[in-house]
Structure 1
Amino acid sequence: MQAELIAVGTELLLGHTIDTDSAYASRELAASGIDVLRRFTVGDNPARLEETLRLALSRSDLVVLIGGLGPTKDDLTKEIAARVCGKQLVMHEDSRRRIEEHFRGRVCGETQWKQAMLPEGCDVLPNDHGTAPGCVFRAENGCLVALLPGPPSECEPMIRDRLMPYLHRLGGGVIASLMVRTFGIGEGTAAERAEDFLNLVNPTVAPYAKDSEMFFRVTAKASSQEEAQKECRAVADRLCERLGSYVYAVNTDGTSQSCLENTVVELLAQRGLTVSAAESCTGGLIAKRLTDVPGASAVLNMSFVTYSNEAKHRLLGVPLEILDRYGAVSEQVARAMAEGVRRFSGSSVGVGVTGIAGPDGGTPEKPVGLVYLAVSDGEHTWVRRMNAPARFQSREKIRFRAASTALDMVRRLLCGLPMEEGPV
């Protein structure tokens, strides 16, 4: 099946809003073996939307339109799609009732009912996170057309929980997928190690990179969910063996929000251990990411943001002679920070991070992007040096990558895995 995506909204066209919906839809469709040939962005202009839709219908098996299903006058996606596809819009009573329930106890304007007007004969995709339902129907030429709401909080779950199962049923068979998540392995190295997996047909393995991580999505199609999951797991297990200690999680990609911080919190909880952090350039980002995870209160003891040398000395006990001799951004200071915060807090593990996130403050000897990271368990302390490459030369990206590297070091300590040697 070949598909095209059309994102509707002037705010997308002008760059005021980033189109994350189409990216998510592309990944989901591709993982299910549907080829996404083209993606378009069209403003709230009926003539241009009609032109783009007619062209897509003429050459694709599936056209997904995202956005323009709301109650306002410029929400015209349904009207245009219905006219182009030879459909009448009719009131869908169940969707109307859902809107009434949503506004129970509040004033509901007449314009809201517009959202319940759907193409006749369509299959409705209920919206569990908003008021505008989605739907799927056939155009006159047999092309499948899907209409989805624009807000990502509504669009993504509708794609995941409604549209993809619908397409799977339509195509026959059942699809299951697993996400193999890695950190610390470069894209080139990862692709080289997994090269033969990327040529598999069923299950398929699709890689993509984000925020210094590499993900491999394993997708299998079978006659039953149990069989599809079994095939996925077999390939995922082999892939994990190939990628080794870089793998930090394997899970279903959907409602799960598993990431490095989830893994670290889970490992600490399983072992009955605690962690504390002393952060300089990351400014509390490690603690923030840990506390984003439910249950973090059982494992995160305390966190310090020690930006100044005085704070490093007074709160963490970093010796002044080390600060004077080596400077705040150094292996010696990171080590002393990790050991100091662990000792002061009484935690099982201490983390220390110090570096230069920029955009200013760098020197030829210590450039922007240089970060030292340390973890200590009371018996041993490990230190790594991170040199952010050019593509990470923004303050936000340097800080995020440093926090991720620190979290991965904690993971490796807890799992008894070797710390990676050399600069990150």
Structure 2
Amino acid sequence: MRAEIIAVGTELLMGQIVNTNAQYLSRGLADIGVGVYFQTVVGDNAQRIKESLRIAKDRADVIICTGGLGPTQDDLTKDVLAETVCQRLVMHGPSMDKIEHMFQKRGVPMVESNARQALMLEHSEPLANDTGLAVGVALTHEGTHYILLPGPPKEMKPMFDRYAKPWIAAQMGSVQPLYSVMLKFAGIGESQLEHELIDLIEAQSDTTIAPYAKEGEVAIRLTTRAASMLEAQAKLKPLEEEIRSRVGQYIYAAEDIALEEAVLRLLTEQGRTLAVAESCTGGLLSDLLTNVPGSSAAFAGGIICYTNRLKHELLNVPMEQLEGSGAPGAVSEETAKRLAEQILSVTGSDYGVSVTGVAGPGESEGKPVGLVYVGVASRDGETTVKQLQQFGNRETIKLRSAKSALYQLWKRMNS
């Protein structure tokens, strides 16, 4: 069964908000065996919405629209669909009662336009809105299934999960759902990973291999259709084992989590703590770590020692090592080692990680843009330093360097 998602809202086209709904819906539809073939974004314009529905009807079995169910005159989705399928809009009593009760409770008069949120197509099924006011719509017309959902994610997600998703599944009959395994990689680029697995990718059939890349990480999703989870596991296991036999040293998780979360989990499991000394990343490494809920159990903190003065005053790196004729400089193996060891000593943590380098846009100390050193010190082992040559703009180099630091620590903890 093929699906198309149509996101309605001029604010999406103008870049004022990000269309996170499409990602959420695509994942949820895959869970029940519905593949999303197309995603469309259209503004609050009746003619363009109607044209989008016409195009979608010719290429999809399920059409899901998000947005345009509110009380204002530019909320047109229900009106346009009603016109498209030649049905009247009728009032959904329970939704109208809910709207009126809400205004009575607030002690303010209800503007008449709010009643629009309780409208539904006359031959459709209502989808309850547990967190908002606008009722959703589920309709089958001439073999095409239509779902109308509100735009705000806090309303859209529960309506889809509790009501729309089961309704779609009921229309599918005997179609087997999709099951997936996500393998997350670090320390290897997308092109190199594909090279190592190219024969498997080219030979894929019932079980598919889909690579995804973002800065500092790569993911592979293995997907198959099966009647049950047990059957799916039996089909996916041989392929996963083959991938692990080739590139298992780069796999940091078998679920869709970020590298920083995997590192923090491992630290917590081992009962150990981490502190960081950042120069070229400017606090980005600490930001990644503290964005993970519960990170305080393992992350002690960090020092952003961007200037040589702070490297010297806060972490006791000798000035003769940082500056002067013949000095290794701030961007050097020696300084990365010293920073990692000193942050370990200052904080009393189990691990100390340092990052120092040239993020650009120009050279520093006569050293090229993208040259980065990552140091990892621990209480029960020697300090190691990894030299990296990163590529990209300033922002990219900083992010790749922070992810590289996490990967070097992950490797140390698993050695």
TM-score (norm 1): 0.84
Cross-structure match for 2:2: 2
Contact preservation (8 Å) 2:68, 2:151: yes
Amino acid in structure 2 at the alignment position of 1:380: E
Tell me: CA distance 1:149–1:304, structure 2 relative to 1, closer, same or farther (3 Å). Answer: same
Q: Are positions 1:351 and 2:353 aligned together?
A: yes
Q: Does 1:218 align with 2:222?
A: yes
Using the alignment, how far apart are the partners of 2:378 and 2:220 within structure 1?
32
Displacement of 1:276 in angstroms is 0.5
Corresponding pairs, count: 406
Match of 1:180, as an amino acid? L
Contact 2:275–2:347 (8 Å) recurs in 1: yes
CA distance in 1, matches of 2:96, 2:237: 42
Contact kept? 1:71, 1:114, Cα under 8 Å: yes
The one-letter amino acid of 2:352's match is: G
Conservation of the 8 A alpha-carbon contact between 1:352 and 1:374: yes
Give a deviation string over 1:178-213, Cα, whole Å, max 9, x none. Answer: 221112222122223333443434433322212232
Counterpart CA distance in 1 for 2:346 and 2:321 is 19
1:262 corresponding residue in structure 2: 261
1:46–1:207 distance in 2 versus 1, CA, 3 Å: same
* 3-state SS of paired residue (2:276): strand
Alpha-carbon distance change, 241 to 4 in structure 1, aligned in 2, over 3 angstroms: same
* 1:242 Cα deviation from its structure 2 partner: 3.2
CA 1:185–1:27: 2 relative to 1, 3 Å: farther
* Structure 2 counterparts to residues 33-44 of structure 1, below 5 A: 34=34, 36-44=36-44
Structure-2 change in CA distance of 1:292 and 1:96 (3 Å): farther
Aligned to 1:399: 398
Change beyond 3 A, Cα 1:71–1:216:
farther
Displacement of 1:344: 1.4
Indicate the residue corresponding to 1:145 in structure 2.
146
Larger radius of gyration: 2
Partners of 2:280 and 2:133 in 1: CA distance: 43
How far apart, in 1, do the equivalents of 2:244 and 2:97 lie?
48
Q: Distance in 2 between matches of 1:339 and 1:210?
A: 31
Letter in 1 for 2:45: N
Q: Distance in 2 between matches of 1:165 and 1:197?
A: 34
Structure 2 counterpart of 1:187, which letter?
A: E
> Does the 8 Å contact 1:31/1:217 carry over to 2?
no
Task: Note if contact 1:176-1:232 (Cα within 8 Å) is conserved in structure 2.
Answer: no
Structure 2: runs of 5+ lacking an equivalent: none
Q: Name the counterpart of 2:387.
A: 385
- 1:87 is the counterpart of 2:91: no
CA 1:34–1:223: 2 relative to 1, 3 Å: closer
Report the AA paired with residue 248 of structure 1. Answer: Y
User: CA shift at 1:414, angstroms?
Assistant: 0.9
Q: Name the SS for the 2:65 alignment partner.
A: strand
1:150 aligned partner, one-letter code: G
* 1:358, distance to aligned residue in structure 2 (A): 3.2
CA distance in 2, matches of 1:369, 1:263: 26
Cα contact 2:354–2:375 (8 A) shared by 1? yes
Post-superposition offset of 1:232: 4.3
**Residue identity opposite 2:367 in structure 1:** K
Shift of 1:312: 0.8
Residue 321 of structure 1 aligns with an amino acid whose one-letter code is: E
In the alignment, which residue of structure 2 is the partner of 1:419?
A: none
Task: Provide the secondary structure at the position in 1 that maps to 2:331.
Answer: coil
Instruction: For residue 215 of structure 1, give the secondary structure of its aligned residue in structure 2.
Output: strand
Greater Cα shift, 100-109 or 39-48: 100-109
C-alpha separation in 2, matches of 1:355 and 1:345: 23
Matches within 5 A, 1:148-167: 148-152=149-153, 154-155=155-156, 163=164, 166-167=167-168
2: CA distance, partners of 1:355 / 1:125: 54
Aligned with residue 342 of structure 1, among 341, 344, 352: 344
CA RMSD, 1 decimal: 3.1
Q: How far off its partner does 1:91 sit?
A: 3.6
| Inter-partner Cα distance in structure 2 for 1:100 and 1:222 | 46
Whether the aligned pair in 2 keeps the contact of 1:352 and 1:375 (CA below 8 Å) is: yes
- One-letter amino acid of the structure 2 residue matched with residue 119 of structure 1: L
C-alpha distance in 1 between matches for 2:101 and 2:237: 41
User: Contact 1:355/1:370 (CA < 8 Å) preserved in 2?
Assistant: yes
User: Normalising by the residue count of structure 2, what TM-score does the alignment of the two structures yield?
Assistant: 0.85
The one of 177, 180, 199 aligned to 1:177: 180
Match of 2:251 among 226, 247, 250: 247
Paired residues of 1:350 and 1:377 also in contact (CA < 8 A): yes
The 1:156/1:406 distance shift into structure 2, 3 A limit, reads farther
Greater Cα shift, 78-87 or 269-278: 78-87
Counterparts in 2 of 1:53 and 1:301: CA distance versus 1, 3 Å: same
| Contact preservation (8 Å) 1:7, 1:67 | yes
In structure 2, distance between residues paired with 1:130 and 1:290: 34
Q: Residues 200-237 of structure 1: CA distance to partner in whole angstroms, max 9, x if unpaired?
A: 34433322212232111222322234433554455444
Q: How is 1:249-398 mapped onto 2 (pairs within 5 angstroms)?
A: 249-251=253-255, 258-324=257-323, 325-359=327-361, 361-363=362-364, 365-378=366-379, 379-389=381-391, 392-393=392-393, 395-398=394-397
In the other structure, the counterpart of 2:407 is 408
Please say if 1:207 is aligned against 2:208: no
**Is the 8 Å Cα contact of residues 31 and 206 (structure 1) preserved in structure 2?**
no
Are 1:54 and 2:70 an aligned pair? Answer: no
On the 8 A contact 1:50/1:81 being kept in 2, the answer is yes
